Amino acid sequence: MTKALQQTKNKLKVNAIIVIALVTSLTITSLFFYKNVDSQWHDYSKTAAHVYVLHDKLIQRLGYGGFIHHFKNLVLRKNTELYLPPIESELTEIKEILAKLGAIKEYDKTALTDVKKTVIEYESKVNIVLTMIADGATSEQIDSTVKVDDKAALKALAAFEQHVNFILKDKSIAIDENFQIAYIVHVLTIILLTSILLIYFRKLSNSYKQQIELTERAVEGARIKSEFLANMSHEIRTPLNGIMGLLQVLQPNIQKPKNIEVVSKALFSCRSLLTIINDILDFSKMEANELSIEQVDFSMSKVVESINSDFLPLCNEKAIDLNIDIDDDVEDLWIGDPVRVRQIILNLVSNAVKFTEQGGVQVKINKSLQSQNQKQGVEIEVIDTGIGMSKEGLMHLFNRFQQADNSITRRFGGTGLGMSITANLINRMNGTIDVDSALGKGTHFTVYLPLKVSEKQHLHDSFTDVTAPDLSAKTLLIAEDNPLNTMIIKSMLAETNADLHFAKDGAEAVELFKQLNPILVLMDIQMPTMGGIEACSHIRSIDKEVPVIALTANVMKENIIEYMNCGFNGHVGKPIEKHLLFKALHDVIAVSRDELID
């Protein structure tokens, strides 16, 4: 990035911060007044509605048709059994309404007191009427004494209503004022934002030439990635074709001793494909900065033994030596990420074996103390007698998608991604990598990893040699649309003696699940008609307990989390490792091995 472009970028950042601050402050101010308007309007509407409802009820209960009506009838007819209960009920309701009105703080308590006094007078007159009825007074005598009408009550209510209207009018004016302020601030915000956007547009137009440079770089990056994807497609198709072809050869006579070499080649093709796929996944994680390094106890000897078993057959075929030497003072147990440590060694040894035609490859594991920071760790050396690299090739060694030259790709294959990933992993572990090479004289890699020695004395062996669970007379349902994958799964699960049923898509799997009531379901994710996630959802609506295992080539961490959240009980990645499949069966079936044996 040029200096001028960097300065432009910095100015844009500063201006953006200022704009965001101004717009945010104005927006907050506008929202503050809008909130006040909303609060006041809510209070206004709620108070007005509440007041008028109570006011109407009070008039109904107190005026003619209510208390006054029943009271007049009581005086006229002197029938206490008929008219006294409704009078008492009306008085009770009137008192409750007055209590509710008194709880509203905006009310004039003086106006409300006048109403209460009138009610108290009415109540006392009711007692007078009852006494005179008991004494045998006539209706005319009673009416002449109490003289009940609703003028006093209505007068008090009128004063009360006038006060309420006055209060509500003040509230309405306050609402209008706040709304006007909020509207003005809102308009100012829009004007300011529009002005700033116009200024920004002019600045961006002035920096158009710098943006052209970035565009050209992006186009170049897209071109390199396109070449990488084309090369990757070829690299994936080659081992995949080898695997499929060799498996077809092995299908009728896999038990024959003469096919041992064919098996070895098929496994090597499978590992080549897995290496490429894993490189793609790791590259994607690194691009998104999502690759994490674990800190667990692991055995260095186990890691090295796995490297030896992976490459020894190929070295024997090429008639080259593979020597792995762990120094005596190197502890066996360390703390780090065994998968990534193995990946680093694997990539270095893979390149060494690939580019070595005569001689051999030597791997040395030593205990090391880095001189710069005095940190203890492990030093890994990978030395080969292969074709070596030129100075120009060394300069591009750790670049993504690139190899020393195109002839390397044509002759030996590869994506040009492995060494970039290796360097990235070492950097994430705070380690270092050095390389010394010359054309025709081989290559010498030295890797330092600042690992800590584990305090544990031993580790439990990992679950790598898993026997097939005995599922005799048990029903398993497998949803898989690929015929070749169906054949592989059927062959692997034959050792379980289970009754296997296969569905070609999710819809068929759901129907078979209803009919068969299986103890376990293996579910592919990407299928026609209905995918695995949707099918699992349907199965979960039928039965929430039967284990469902996702069987898919989607092995990213976020994919696995999604499957678990959707109702799956486990996950087995493709290509399928038989011991991992059996381990998944053991993990999810909630019956002990002894109970499974009939």
Taking each helix axis from N to C terminus, what angle separates 139-146 and 67-77, rounded to the nearest 10 degrees? 140
Same domain, 436 and 511: no
Structural contact between residues 340 and 347, judged by C-beta atoms closer than 8 angstroms? no
Report yes or no on 209 lying in a domain: no
Cα 13 from chain centroid?
Answer: 30
DSSP structure string for 391-459:
HHHHHTTTSTT--S-HHHHHHH---S-HHHHHHHHHHHTT-EEEEEE-TTS-EEEEEEE-PEEPS-S--
Same domain, 318 and 384: yes
Structural contact between residues 97 and 54, judged by C-beta atoms closer than 8 angstroms? yes
Same domain, 566 and 424: no
Report yes or no on 239 lying in a domain: no
Same domain, 116 and 65: yes
Residues in Cβ contact with 156 at an 8 Å cutoff, skipping those fewer than 6 apart:
111, 114, 115, 117, 118
pLDDT at 519: 93
pLDDT at 167: 67
Comparing C-alpha atoms, which of 109, 97, 100 is closest to residue 167?
109
Phi, psi values for residue 151, rounded to 5°? -65, -45
Q: What is the dihedral of CA 369, 375, 377, 381, to 10 degrees?
A: -50
The domain that holds 512 is classified in CATH as 3.40.50.2300
Same domain, 443 and 485: no
Report yes or no on 228 lying in a domain: no
Both tokens of 4, joined, read: 């001028």
Per-residue pLDDT of the chain (598 residues), as tens digits, is 456 556 666 776 777 777 777 777 777 776 776 677 666 666 666 666 677 777 777 777 776 667 778 888 888 888 888 888 888 888 888 888 888 877 776 656 666 777 778 788 888 888 888 888 888 888 888 888 887 666 666 666 676 667 667 766 776 777 677 777 777 777 777 777 777 777 766 766 766 666 677 677 766 765 565 456 445 544 564 455 446 444 544 655 566 666 666 666 666 666 666 666 666 666 666 665 656 788 889 889 888 888 888 888 888 888 999 999 999 888 999 999 888 898 899 889 988 898 898 999 999 999 886 655 557 889 999 999 988 888 777 877 776 545 544 444 444 444 556 788 888 889 888 899 999 988 888 999 999 999 988 888 777 554 445 688 889 989 999 999 888 788 878 888 888 999 999 999 999 999 999 999 999 999 999 888 899 999 999 999 999 999 999 988 777 777 888 999 999 999 988 777 778 888 889 888 754 344 344 4
pTM: 0.49
Strands 520-523 and 475-479: parallel
Same domain, 414 and 518: no
Provide the residue range defining the domain that includes 560: 475-596
pLDDT at 596: 40
The domain that holds 375 is classified in CATH as 3.30.565.10
DSSP state of 184: H
Same domain, 405 and 488: no
Three-state DSSP state, 500: strand
Report yes or no on 223 lying in a domain: no
CA gap 381, 362 in Å, rounded: 8
Report yes or no on 132 lying in a domain: yes
Same domain, 489 and 420: no
pLDDT at 441: 87
DSSP run (H or E) holding 351: helix 338-354
Structurally, how many domains does the chain consist of?
3
Same domain, 501 and 433: no
Residue that the structure tokens 């096919």 belong to: 259
Both tokens of 246, joined, read: 């060799």
Same domain, 170 and 21: yes
Q: Show which of 453, 486, 517 is a domain's final residue.
A: 453
User: Residue 231's CB: how many other CB atoms inside 10 A?
Assistant: 19
DSSP run (H or E) holding 489: helix 483-493
Three-state DSSP state, 231: helix
Report yes or no on 378 lying in a domain: yes
Report yes or no on 227 lying in a domain: no
Same domain, 165 and 16: yes
Report yes or no on 284 lying in a domain: no
DSSP structure string for 519-536:
SEEEE-SS-SSS-HHHHH
Q: Show which of 189, 224, 241 is a domain's final residue.
A: 189
Cα 513 from chain centroid?
Answer: 30
Same domain, 417 and 528: no
pLDDT at 84: 86
pLDDT at 124: 85
Residues in Cβ contact with 212 at an 8 Å cutoff, skipping those fewer than 6 apart:
none
List C-alpha distances in Å: 393 to 396, 424, 544: 5, 18, 58
CA gap 375, 369 in Å, rounded: 6
Comparing C-alpha atoms, which of 265, 361, 363 is closest to residue 317?
265
